[in-house]
Amino acid sequence: MSDYCILTLFLICPKLFCVPIIQLSLIPTDDVYQKRIEEKLDNVIETGKENPIEAGHIATYGGYVEVSDHNGLISFPRKQADKSIHLLITQEANPISMFHNTLAYWEITPDIAARFYHIEQHYNEKTKKSSWNTKEVPLPDDHKIPFDTIILFIDPEYANPTLEEIIAFDNENLLMPPIQIKKRADEAKNAIIFLKVRHLFRTPEPAVNKQAHRYEISLTP
């Protein structure tokens, strides 16, 4: 009897749909990581009390803005079918608006240091494994940043993507190769720069407007 009950619950319960993600991982350089471990072993600092250099950095992709967490992870909903993506590392980019609060695309800011990468996943028929291949590519001639680009707002001097081939998990989630972050990467300065475009990423809110014979509900960006 219990088996039938379990089967019935399985059939009537709503399905859970998981949205595939793109995840970027920021990690400290080897020397910073080694020093951090030594400090913890010597009890100089308490675990979890320090603010790691890979936390607090801002990135945007597909109309979303995220901040790297305490573990250096940045996650976005996956908005593309192919398993290749661009990465732009720069301190500043120009948002081009379609309307007042609608962002059309981003442009590279002239005279601001920027490095552009293409990261693509390949499947090896011999080994039956997938891998990430990262290479630096020229900046777009028209300064227009492609839609499939993660923009990481860090001075390129302090961020080094992994250029070596990295084994990839063959599933719908795109877990990108890690990026090493050096000391003196100023996440506070990058956040201040981003404040001027924060209104473009504000969550829409319902607004009630009184008309002559009715009330109207609209979304305010």
pLDDT tens for the chain, residues 1 to 221:
455 554 444 454 555 456 889 999 999 888 877 777 667 666 655 555 567 888 888 999 988 888 999 889 999 999 888 899 999 999 988 888 776 667 788 899 888 999 999 999 988 888 888 899 999 999 999 999 999 999 999 999 999 999 999 888 878 899 999 999 988 777 777 777 666 666 565 555 566 677 776 666 654 54
Record the pTM: 0.76
Structural domain that includes position 149: 17-220
Kindly state whether residue 123 falls inside one of the protein's structural domains. yes
Q: Are 167 and 130 in contact (CB under 8 A)?
A: yes
Kindly state whether residue 146 falls inside one of the protein's structural domains. yes
Give the C-alpha separation, 2 to 8, whole Å.
Answer: 10
Kindly state whether residue 126 falls inside one of the protein's structural domains. yes
Name the token pair of 37: 């471990």
Output the pLDDT for position 118. Answer: 96
Output the pLDDT for position 9. Answer: 47
Kindly state whether residue 23 falls inside one of the protein's structural domains. yes
Q: Which candidate, 122, 123, 124, places its Cα nearest to that of 133?
A: 122
Output the pLDDT for position 119. Answer: 95
Kindly state whether residue 4 falls inside one of the protein's structural domains. no
Q: How many domains does the chain have?
A: 1
Terminal C-alpha separation, the chain: 53
